[in-house]
Amino acid sequence: MDTEYSELNDDWITNFERNDKLYQDFYKDDIYYINLKCVYVNRDNEIDKINTETFLMGKPNVISREEILQILKRASVDTDRRYSLLSILRYNITLDADDVRHFLSSDPAPDSFLTVIKTVDAVSFEKTIHMMQDLNDLVLIFYEKSQELKQSTPDNTTKRVYLHPHANKKTIKKRYKD
């Protein structure tokens, strides 16, 4: 019985594993990090600055709402200027292994992997081919808030209204006939 197992040829398993390693980069895998890009636009509609950093996700393939809010709070102030969020864009490569050759040889549509995120909520990414994972981005576009709002102008002041308990109280006297 032991001789039957010792004569079993397992070279095909070794060959399969060796060939499989060659194609490992073409298998879809979970995303654990993305490139976070913050684009700052000034009041003249010109790009002032672009910050790029690697963001490690707390959970694979998902940036939670809390993480998004932390990023927005941290990134909304840059070099003593305040910015408001204009847009959130997700760039997620969702190619299958069979489509890579066609994708590389043709001119793909520029927005084929770009998605506009309309609400500030959790952002999910689909699994990506291992060799293209470093192309996944989350782009935050900020617009500079106007400085005029900080100064007090007559049109920008709040009128104070004081309420007194006895003010404008009419006293009515009734006359009774006896």
| pLDDT digit string, tens, across residues 52-70 | 999 999 999 999 999 999 9
Residue 149's pLDDT band, with cuts at 50, 70 and 90, is very low
User: What is d(CA 65, CA 28) in angstroms, rounded to the nearest whole number?
Assistant: 25
Provide the residue ranges of all domains of the chain, joining segments of one domain with +: 24-147
Q: List, for residues 129-140, the tens digit of each pLDDT value.
A: 888 888 999 999
CATH architecture of the domain formed by 24-147: Roll (3.10)
User: What is d(CA 9, CA 13) in angstroms, rounded to the nearest whole number?
Assistant: 9
